[in-house]
Amino acid sequence: MTVAPGQIQLIMDLRSKGVDDMELLSAIERVPREMFVPETFQEHAYEDTALPIGHGQTVSQPSVVVRMIEALELGPRLKVLEVGTGSGYQTAVLSHLCRRVYTVERHAPLLKEAEARLYELRRHNVTGIAGDGALGWPEQAPFPRIIVSAAALEVPPTLADQLAEGGIMVAPIGDERGEQRIIRVRRGADGFETEDLGAVRFVPLMPGTGAEAER
């Protein structure tokens, strides 16, 4: 696979910021981010910045994707629930690091486009549905790992309930116009423990589906 010069620079930038997980860096290197951003923003594909992808959504900046995936403590035998497929960029990175990704996207057109990109990249360990991400995917629960790509005011209780014992959920928590923090939730035998991993900025986690909102 040919690696774009911008992609090499991105890897170097991530390493300079302290990212030393070689498997994660390899996954970032193997996912061509330019496939996951609109043509208008192609020249910015490998900048460490969030970019709009339509429907009021964004593809997260690579350093945030890395921070959140690192916090998941992934392994090749694990399955992951991803809430917020977006353009599919984070989904593709996850697919290189775990056994299977179950991804939920509120906007059906975004999911359809993401699935086409993932198919083109032969990422066949991903299953997606269009739906309300806050409801998770109860038919496939429990999940050893859950990652949420939109900010809720509090840890979504329905998603926490779908977390397996010993599992980890990483989610941005906070108000759309106020402070948001990356929160890591661990589920133990006696309940949940949370850990603040720092500031972040995400679009809000909305109830329902995009089609419902447009009616």
How confident is the prediction for the chain on average, in pLDDT? 93
Tens digits of residue pLDDT in 90-114: 999 999 999 999 999 999 999 999 9
Does residue 72 sit within a domain?
A: yes
Does residue 109 sit within a domain?
A: yes
Q: Report the pLDDT averaged over residues 174-202.
A: 94
Tell me, what's the pLDDT at 6? 84
Does residue 1 sit within a domain?
A: no
Does residue 17 sit within a domain?
A: yes
Q: CATH no. for residue 58?
A: 3.40.50.150
Tell me, what's the pLDDT at 215? 43
* Overall domain count for the chain: 1
Does residue 146 sit within a domain?
A: yes
Active-site residue list = 60
Tell me, what's the pLDDT at 212? 53
Inform me whether the pLDDT recorded for 213 exceeds 60: no
Q: Which residue has the higher pLDDT, 185 or 7?
A: 185
Does residue 58 sit within a domain?
A: yes
Does residue 45 sit within a domain?
A: no
* Residue 210 pLDDT class (50, 70, 90 cuts): low
Tens digits of residue pLDDT in 44-82: 999 999 999 999 999 999 999 999 999 999 999 999 999
Does residue 39 sit within a domain?
A: no
Tell me, what's the pLDDT at 209? 75
Inform me whether the pLDDT recorded for 160 exceeds 70: yes
Percent of residues, the chain, with pLDDT higher than 90: 88
Host domain of residue 202: 10-34+50-214
- The string of DSSP letters for the chain reads -PPPHHHHHHHHHHHHTT---HHHHHHHHHS-GGGGS-GGGGGGTTSSS-EEEETTEEEPPHHHHHHHHHHH---TT-EEEEE--TTSHHHHHHHTTSSEEEEEES-HHHHHHHHHHHHHTT-TTEEEEES-GGG--GGG--EEEEEE-SBBSS--HHHHHTEEEEEEEEEEEE-TTS-EEEEEEEEETTEEEEEEEEEE---B--SS-HHHHH-
